[in-house]
Amino acid sequence: METIKRYSPVTFDSKPAETELRNGWEVVLAYEDEGNGPYLVDLSHIAKWDVQHAHLSQIQPMGTAIPQTPRACIFKDSVFINRLNQTQASVWHICGLKAEMPEDSAYTDITDVFAMLALFGADNLSIMEKVTALDLQPHEKQSPFLIQGPVLHVPCQIVIVEKDALLIAFSRGYAHSMSEAFLEAGSQCNLKPAGELVFSNYIKTLTLVT
């Protein structure tokens, strides 16, 4: 059976140095000139699920309970589970993990309709200050945690992974303009596109408390 070819809505001017075909996506693993950070990584290809149920406590993606309070996140086995509100959560499978969605009406696969960018490295919060009025400082909250709100007037889900790293998910149609705006906002900080390997290596270093 022929695999459907999927295309990321994010395009960078940088030249790919290494790519991989995965689940129909051509994933850029590395670019020729990625610099030393901060980095902007396209993660639009990762599996993303929307979960909606009147009693979310009854739903356990991959055997993990969804956080009880809105804005709370759990990071386990390279998967982020984010509580959006009383009846909705999102599940993000980071680093190219192949995920079989449960046969349950509570789950909807939104991989193809949501783009995702990772912004990490020094100065990421100062870059974000140029594109959003949202307060992304940790304050009393322990990482990871979720913030929902506009970035460049586009509704987004933002997970603060830790002080120098965040994930931003938004509707696919805004991907090109969003990625360009981020690179422009981070130009003074030498923000550059990077491939998935840079981000997956970073994820392996995480020891987040969940």
CB-count exposure of residue 148 (10 Å: 0-12, 13-18, 19+): middle
Q: Look up the CATH number of domain 16-46+114-198.
A: 3.30.1360.120
CA nearest to 49, candidates 2, 95, 8, 94: 94
SS (H, E, C) 12-61: CCCCEEEEEEECCEEEEEEECCCCCCCEEEECCCCCEEEEECCCHHHCCH
Question: CB 90: neighbour CB atoms within 10 A?
Answer: 22
What would the two tokens of residue 190 be? 């030498």
pTM of the model: 0.91
- Planar angle of CA 98, 18, 95, nearest 5 degrees: 25
On the question of pLDDT at 208 being above 60, the answer is: no
Looking only at the bridges linking them, the beta strands covering 25-31 and 16-22 are: antiparallel
> What pLDDT, in 10s, does the model give residues 118-175?
998 888 888 999 999 998 876 656 778 999 999 999 999 999 998 789 999 999 999 9
Domain ranges for the chain, please list them.
16-46+114-198, 48-108
Q: Give the residue-averaged pLDDT of 186-198.
A: 93
Cα–Cα distance, 200 to 123 (Å, whole number): 20
The residue that leads in pLDDT, 210 or 27, is: 27
